[in-house]
Copies of this chain bind each other. A is one copy, B any other.
Amino acid sequence: MAREGRNPTISDVAELAGVSVPTVSRVLTGAARVSPAKRELVEAAIAELNFRPSAAARVLVSRKSRTIAVIAGNTSRYGYAETIRGIEIAARAEGYTVMITVVESADEEEVDRAVSATRMQTLAGVVVLKFDPPGVAALHKLGTDLPVVALSGTRESGVPQAVLDEAAAAEELTEYLLGLGHRTVHHVRVPPSRRVDGRTSGWKRALTKAGAPVPAVRDATWEPKSGIAVGGELAADPEVTAVFCGNDEIAMGVMRGITEAGRRVPEDISVAGFDDHPLAELWSPPLTTVRQDFASLGVRGFQLLKQAIDDAVVRRYSSERPTLVLRESTAAPRAR
């Protein structure tokens, strides 16, 4: 009999409906046919008791889970947050639950901790945000006994992955800047995920193709403010007429540094960003950038994972080309 003070179980439902426990299970899972009469009884009992099956018991016996994990180096920065949002939307649509694991650093100990914490759960699969070194490290530690999909800006061998082709977009943006008449384009990099970074390599490729000089790369952190100092240095160099920044937030910092140094954007120096942050078009001047659809990256990532979970014919890649967004922070250089 259903006791008070605890959640109803499947046997409470079975008893109330006057059927066996497996029959209730059949109604729940839809795995086998149940006569309409019994099904109705069972459904009434479920509703009356407000019964919800225990996910833990289901997982234990069926060895199948409706939970996926997302491993990420960060959850709140724009690209990360939007990507996770996309994953969650796609997962929810398919009835999957999402749990989050944050990997703070690429230290072996921290990566082990994160992977262990993740793998304690019985999971249907894992999506790894391979945007940074912690993500890359976690991906490698994860093992192959579980469906895994990586999300990133550069296609790489190994697990299936959904990609935003950053290199192609960065190349296009750099070519646009050169086409405006700039002799070359300087580059401020955000912390790269590996030695090579799609945005940086696309930039370099465009310069090389055009026979333009390749200036030394300048590094910024993820903090928008770190762009201010870099902007100041850039403003001090009269050779600099165009700057391509690794993301919009850094670009905003760089623009402030340039402005504080008394030079104007885009009249003296053109500045372009990357991502199309929601505030990029509100900035003064509105930012020329590359639109990255992170939410769609997350959706595509989950879809790839779903295929792997279902043992479907697994497409290993899903690539999308971010698009150039021309606004007012870039212009032709002034005549010298």
Contacts and interface: CB of A to CB of B under 8 A. Distances in A.
A122 B65 CA distance: 14
Given A60-B54, A67-B99, A100-B98, A225 B282 contact: yes
Given A52-B116, A81-B76, A116-B52, A281 B122 contact: no
A100 B102 contact: no
Interface in A45-74: 52-57, 59-60, 65, 67
A180 interface: no
Contacts of A75: 81, 84-85, 88
Contacts of A88: 75, 100, 102
Interface residues of A, number: 49
Nearest to A248: B279
B84 A281 contact: no
A55 B122 contact: yes
A142 to B, nearest CB: 13
Interface string A98-128: 1111100000000000001101111000000
Q: Which 5 residue pairs are nearest across A and B when measured between Cβ atoms?
A: A76-B81, A56-B59, A99-B99, A76-B85, A81-B81
Contacts of A97: 99, 101, 117, 120-121
Nearest to A78: B76
B225 A253 contact: no
A208 interface: no
